[in-house]
Every structure is written in C-alpha cells, then in structure tokens.
Amino acid sequence: MAHLNEQPAWQKLSDIADAIKFEHMRDWFNNDPQRAVKYTADAVGITLDYSKNRINQEVMDSLFELAEQCQVAEKRTAMFSGEQINFTEHRAVLHTALRNFSGNPVIVDGTDVMPEVLATQAKMKSFVSSILTGQHRGYTGKAITDVVSIGIGGSFLGPKIMSEALKPYWQSDVKVHFVANVDACHIQDVLAERDAEQTLILMSSKSFSTQETLQNTLTAKKWFLAQGGTEADIAKHFMAVSSNIKAATEFGMAEENIFPMWDWVGGRYSLWSAIGLPLALTIGWEHFEALLNGAYEMDCHFQTAPVEQNLPVILALIGLWYRNFFNAQSYVLLPYYHYLRGFPAYVQQLDMESNGKQVAGDETVDYETGPIVWGSEGTNGQHSFHQLIHQSNTLIPADFMLPLNVPKQDNTHHAMLASNCFAQSQALMQGQSHKEIVEALKAKGVKKAEAEVLATHKTMPGNKPSNTLLFEQLDPKTLGALVALYEHKVFVQGAIWGVNSYDQWGVELGKVLGNQILDKIQSEDSAPGFDASTNQLIARFVDSLK
Ligand code: F6P
C-alpha cells in the first residue's frame, strides 16, 4: 500500500486545508441553514453534532476517501475476525468478543473462544452475587463489606472511572476502594480504614508482573496477616484477575480464586473482562451486562453503518483532519457531567497508549500520529484552561459531552450546566470580532481610542472546532456505547496511520531501568554507574535514607 502521505486523498486534503484556511465557520453557518442538521449523526442513543468543525462536504468526502484508500473497512474485518493485527506480539485483538451477544462463535487460532468467555462471565456473575448477597464469608464468618481493588493502568482506570460514572446505578452497600500507585500512602490510607475480617482484596494484573500491583498486593497480604488472618484464610480474602495463571498461583492465589483473561484482550481494552469485576460489584451484574450490551450495539453500528453515518469513523476522521492537516498537537475532552469527570483520563490511556507510536508497518514515519489527550469536567475548565483554547494561537479541538437528563437533580443546576456547555462550543466557533467588541465598548461609553486598544485584547478569533455528544442519560448501556465509540475511533485512526494500536513497547525501557535503579538504591550503592544526573539523584536519595 502506498505511503499514507502519498495517498491521493491525502494530497487532496492538504490542498483543501490550504484553500479553507481563511474561511470562518461563522460564515458557513450563516450561508447554510441546514449545516447543523447535515453534520449530525446518531447511534446507540448518542447524538454527535459535528457541525462546529472546519469541514464541508468536500472535506468529509475526501476524508472518507482516505479511509477507503487506507483500507479501514478491510482492517476492521480483520480485527473482528480474529486476525493477529497486533502483529508485533502475534496476537488477535478481540475485546469485542467479551461483549459478543450475537451468539456467533469467535475463532482465535482455530478455536471458538466464546465458551470460555461465557464460562468466565458465569463465574463473575456468581462471584458478584456471593459477595453482594453476603453468602461469601470471611475467616471469622462475617460477610464482606469492603473490596480493595488493586491494579494500575487498564487494570484500574476502567473499573474506577466507570464506577464513578455510574454512581446513580450503585447497587449495594459493598464499597469498592481502588489502589493503583506504588506510593504507599494510598494503600496505607485505604487499609487503615478497613476491617480485615470483612475485606476482600481483588488483585487485577493481566501480566501478573506489574511492580506496583505486586508490591501493593504484598503489602495487603502483610496487613491481612498482621490483622489476625492466617495463610489458611488467604483463599477467603484474596482473589486475582490475570492471564498469567501460573504466576498468580505461585504468588499464593488459590486457582479457584483466579478469574482468567486472555492475551487477545489489551489492558486498555479490558474493562469488559473480569478486570471489570470491581465495577460489576458496584453496579450489580444486570447493569454490568447492560454496559456490555451498549458496547455490543456500538460494535454492530461500527461494522454496519455507512461511513457517512458511522460515529467512530466520523470522530476518527475529524480528529485526523486537525492532527495531520492543522497540526493540532492535542484534543480536549470536556464532559459536562460531574460523574463523567474521569473519562478524559480513561481516553488518555486508550488513545495515547494505542496510537502514540512512530512506526507504521516496519518503517518510522514522518507524519504525526496519536495526539495528546487531556481534559476535565465542565464547567470547571472554563475557570482554568478555556482561556487558552479561546484566545491562544494553539488549535485544540474539543469534544463536549452532556447527558440531557440527570437523576434526582435540580433543573436549574442542569439548565446552567447545559447552557455553559452549549455556550462554550458556540463561543469557540463564532468568536467575537474586533469590530463587534469596539461597538460594544463604545455603547458602554468607552472612548473610541481606548475601545480600539482594549478590543485587540478582547478579540475572540473563533473558528475553533468542537464536537458535541448528547445522550438522554448516562445509563450503563449508553456508557458502554460511549466507551466502545472511542475504542473504535482509536482503531480507525491507527488503521489510517498504519501504527500497531495494540502493543506498548514504549513503556518497557522505563520498567527495566526502574528495576536497575531500585537495586542500586536498595543496596545503597552511591556510585551506581549511570549518567551523572541519575547518579546524583540516586546518591541524594540514598543519603536521605541515612
Ligand atoms: O505498562 C503499561 C501497562 O502494561 C498497561 O498497558 C496496562 O494496562 C498496565 O500496564 C497494567 O498491566 P497489568 O494489567 O499487566 O498489570
């Protein structure tokens, strides 16, 4: 296949970007009353208004052509059919099998994996029931009231963030506490408030080799034994989720307490697996299944909708338009819903660990790939970083998202939240011209000369792009669809850029060096033989231990 920037559509897009550089979205809206309707699409309860973008039909058509020239549809088929598209690790990419309600088999290396997936889900459902009904007892015969979920990255972000997002759907008095970082203050704070007799430790690690998770679990084990538990009681209070059953059992986990996962499920795509157990414990199995179903329906939409109506394809292509043709270094996620405040951090790992690569096929590329993803809940950002988005020379496309209905809430608050959400995307798009500001200042009595100077500082350039995603309410099904939407957006962009979105070699060197430095620190070696900076940093730390 031709190099990406040699594709005909790429050159066409580059020419169009030059041609529309000085056109303003405000004029496009004024000239086309149908613009908003034309550039809005719906799927699985999510409405995407992408009209406040620097696009027209020629741009969209050329972007769709680029997707076709980069064989996105063929690559999508390869993924869903279990081909080893994670070609550096020789693995299939089948997190979609975990939410496969079609009844059809999913073949990996000649074997239908669905029986094992369904058996694991049955084990999960039974475990959730035994904990939430109080049937599962601790070593002194008491029911479990608290679960400490230990994991990091994809073994933490999904269950934690989606538990927050679905707070209106929390089902039980069992409280789940999340611990990720190896900084001991977190696990110490969490364990200090726990009663070991009624606490279950749920350790999640696909590799069962992540330093932070292993250390935190060891600390939890020491705590448990210091509280009065014995080695014989471990099986009642320690469970694990991992693809590395051997390492888990060698660590001391009872085999019947290990929930399997598979190498064809990437860590950042594992919410749907037993990694999601802490979420299922929080919202109950029925709601967890609804989450899976929402993702499944988005999978079906992604596989069947024509590109012009395909939400993952549209989001992906618009993001690529700014990344590669407007040199946008980042995009910002702005959930206008407090419970969805963690969503930017979730998509940050999903997107940046998937597409933050520089190799396509087997060659280093010279074009930009994965963007920097960041964001926080609205309206908070308006009183923090929105200034830069509105008035700097840095283009930062935004994804706004808002539930139209929120449970048990004062309508005034929600009307204010919605009006702020809509106003921000409107201000980003239309801006406010120098002339408009001078007139407004003069109308307030400001002298013309002063108004002219002040207006220069108050001018809002506008023409700043955004998408707005609306949904009736953020219920489990809609959340599942929303997460799958962004998973498939990342897939489409990775397919066009040609990167392997499913490995993460970039995190390995830091782990190796970290272990080498840890050895030097623990042996109090003040001449470790690294570079001068690292040596002096280690020396300072070693000295501080004395
Ligand atoms: O180091 C990165 C990473 O492998 C992520 O991809 C993953 O989600 C996280 O660490 C945790 O890995 P594990 O689940 O194997 O402990």
Q: Which of 99, 474, 466 shows the shortest CA–CA distance to 315?
A: 466
Ligand 1 proximity of 504 Cβ (cutoff 6 Å): yes
Tell me: pLDDT of 48 over 90. Answer: yes
| Average pLDDT over every residue of 10-21 | 97
Query: Atom 6 in ligand 1: which residue has the minimum CA distance?
Result: 267
541 DSSP assignment: H
Q: Best substitution site from 155, 179, 258, 357 to test ligand 1's pocket, by max atoms within 8 Å of Cβ?
A: 155
Q: Would the pLDDT of 530 be above 80?
A: yes
Give yes or no: residues 187 and 276 share one domain: yes
- Residue numbers annotated as active site: 353, 383, 511
Residue 212: closest CA among 178, 251, 183, 252? 183
pLDDT at 521 over 70: yes
How much is the mean pLDDT over the chain?
97
Is residue 495 in a domain? no
Same domain, 535 and 457: no
Is the CB of 507 inside a 6 Å radius of any atom of ligand 1? yes
Q: What percent of the chain has pLDDT over 90?
A: 96
Interval 85-99 mean pLDDT? 98
Cβ–ligand 1 contact at 152 (below 6 Å): yes
**Atom 10, ligand 1: residue with shortest CA distance:** 153
Pair of tokens at residue 508: 């390995």
- What are the tens digits of pLDDT across the range 447-464? 999 999 999 999 999 999
Predicted confidence (pLDDT) at residue 1 exceeds the cutoff of 70: no
At 410 the pLDDT is 79
Residue from 222, 217, 280 nearest 248 by CA: 217
Domain presence at residue 466: no
Higher pLDDT, 409 or 144: 144
Cα(430) to centroid(ligand 1), Å? 42
Whether residue 408 is predicted with pLDDT greater than 80 in this model: the reply is no
Q: Whose CA is nearest to atom 1 of ligand 1?
A: 507
The whole-number pLDDT of residue 369 equals 98
Domain that holds residue 167: 114-286
Which DSSP state fits 432? Answer: B
Q: Flag whether 42 is in a domain.
A: no
343 pLDDT higher than 70: yes
The reply to whether 534 and 449 lie within a common domain is no
pLDDT exceeds 80 at position 262: yes
213 ligand 1 Cβ < 6 A: yes
Could you identify the atom of ligand 1 that is nearest to the CA of residue 242? 14
CA of 484 to the centre of ligand 1 (A): 19
Residue 270 near ligand 1, beta carbon < 6 Å: no
186, 118: one domain: yes
- Determine, yes or no, domain membership for 158: yes
DSSP helix/strand/coil, 481: helix
**Integer Cα distance of 186 and 472 in angstroms:** 36
Protein residue closest via CA to atom 3 of ligand 1: 153
* Pocket mutation for ligand 1, best pick of 95, 149, 152 (most atoms within 8 Å of C-beta): 152
Cα(265)–Cα(380) distance, rounded to whole angstroms? 35
Instruction: Judge if the beta carbon of residue 210 lies within 6 A of ligand 1.
Output: yes
Query: In whole angstroms, what is the distance from residue 82 CA to residue 427 CA?
Result: 45
Judge if 451 and 511 occupy the same domain: no
- Containing 35, the helix (H) or strand (E) segment is helix 35-38
Helices and strands in the chain, H and E counts: 22, 15
Amino acid at 124: M
Nearest to 80 by CA among 65, 59, 102, 62: 102
Q: How far apart are CA 532 and CA 218, in angstroms?
A: 34
**239 shares its domain with 163:** yes
Report the percentage of the chain scoring pLDDT > 70: 100
Q: Is residue 448 domain-shared with residue 523, that is, in the same domain?
A: no
Using only C-alpha atoms, the chain has a radius of gyration, in whole angstroms, of 26
Number of domains the chain contains: 3
Say yes or no: CB of residue 153 within 6 Å of ligand 1: yes
Gap from CA of 158 to ligand 1 centroid (Å)? 12
Q: Is the CB of 206 under 6 A from ligand 1?
A: yes
Q: Say if residue 478 is preceded by a cis peptide, omega within 30 of 0.
A: no
CA–centroid distance, residue 155 to ligand 1 (Å): 7
513 inside domain: yes
Residue 263 clears pLDDT 80, i.e. is over it: yes
Q: Sort 154 into a burial class: Cβ within 10 Å, 0-12 / 13-18 / 19+.
A: buried
Phi, psi at 82, each rounded to 5°? 85, 15
In a domain, 374, yes or no: no
pLDDT tens string 93-112: 999 999 999 999 999 999 99
The enclosing H or E element of 244 equals: none
Asked if residue 447 and residue 510 are part of one domain, the reply reads no
CA 124 to centroid of ligand 1, rounded, Å: 21
Enclosing H/E stretch for 357: none
Rounded to the nearest 10°, the torsion over CA 221, 223, 227, 228 is 30
Q: Is 528 a residue whose pLDDT tops 90?
A: no
Rounded to an integer, the average pLDDT of 41-55 is 98
| Domain boundary, last residue among 286, 306, 330 | 286
Residue 409 has pLDDT above 90, yes or no: no
> Which is the closest atom of ligand 1 to the Cα of 504?
6
Does residue 101 fall inside a structural domain?
no
Give 289 Cα–ligand 1 centroid separation in angstroms.
24
pTM metric for this prediction:
0.98
Residue 131 Cα to ligand 1 midpoint, Å, equals 27
Q: Considering only CA atoms, which of 298, 276, 63 is closest in space to residue 151?
A: 276
CATH number at residue 209: 3.40.50.10490
Protein residue with its CA nearest to atom 9 in ligand 1:
153
Distance of CA 470 from the midpoint of ligand 1 (Å)? 32
* 72-80 vs 285-304: helix crossing angle, rounded to 10: 140
Residue 274, pLDDT > 80, answer: yes
Of the candidates 298, 372, 380, the one whose C-alpha atom is nearest the C-alpha of residue 334 is 380
**Tens-digit pLDDT profile for residues 105-164:** 999 999 999 999 999 999 999 999 999 999 999 999 999 999 999 999 999 999 999 999
Note the pLDDT tens digit of each residue in 186-206.
999 999 999 999 999 999 999
Whether residue 314 lies inside any domain: the answer is no
Determine the Cα–Cα distance for residues 483 and 478; give it in Å rounded to an integer: 9
